[in-house]
A = this chain, B = another copy of it.
């Protein structure tokens, strides 16, 4: 058996996230189906590095699966695209060591949230950015962002229906950058709670609007109260940009 790593890009618009669910379209189900069609193996288990929510996109998602197929590992990236739907693209594939596991061996992940901050929405971006017409002050958002960096209990920035053991996570970088009418929020960390990036984004937007001051972030984190943090930004502005796994650059 070979253990094969895949890198995928996908448009999350049509999917109920990565994770296989009953009666709902998922990216993992499509990838599994495509691998089955190629390898003719019935039992295929695809391990994904991260759950992504419905509507959330991925620029470089990492997953792995085991196969006895004689298809050379490097060929999967071409062969899979003949089987995958138009909104999922495999752009890399290679063999990894037998023990590699996409969840356990993920060291950190980078997410990007894109806000379209012009007066009018851009129709081409309606599934790919959050249009917020009111001008946001990105320098205030940058000052607020600094409070999130480090190891904190992010209970205030986590949807209440989470089942995680601990709400402590480490954010190693949180950048807010404006390019014309777009604001990009790039977050890197060792792990993320349910809706964490979207709630941080919603809170930073409220700072950008002047509804909250940057210094308030410190108290918000300390109080661990979800009801005091900001709104949850919509899923379609969010991208899983990069998954850093053990053994990769």
In the assembled complex, the CB of A240 is this many whole angstroms from the nearest CB of chain B, namely: 13
Interface residues of A, CB < 8 Å — how many? 20
| Copies of this chain | 2
Q: Which residue of B is nearest A118, CB measured?
A: B91
Q: Which residue of B is nearest A9, CB measured?
A: B123
Q: Would you call B81 and A123 a contact (CB within 8 A)?
A: no
Chain B residues closer than 8 Å to A88, beta-carbon distance: 123
Let me know if A38 is at the binding interface, CB within 8 A: no
CA–CA, A11 and B127, complex, Å: 12
Q: Would you call B81 and A124 a contact (CB within 8 A)?
A: no
Within A2-48, which residues are at the interface with B (CB < 8 Å)? 9-11
Let me know if A222 is at the binding interface, CB within 8 A: no
Q: With contacts A87-B126, A126-B86 known, is A120 near B81, CB below 8 A?
A: yes
Chain B residues closer than 8 Å to A62, beta-carbon distance: none
Within A48-68, which residues are at the interface with B (CB < 8 Å)? 57
CA–CA, A121 and B119, complex, Å: 31
Let me know if A89 is at the binding interface, CB within 8 A: yes
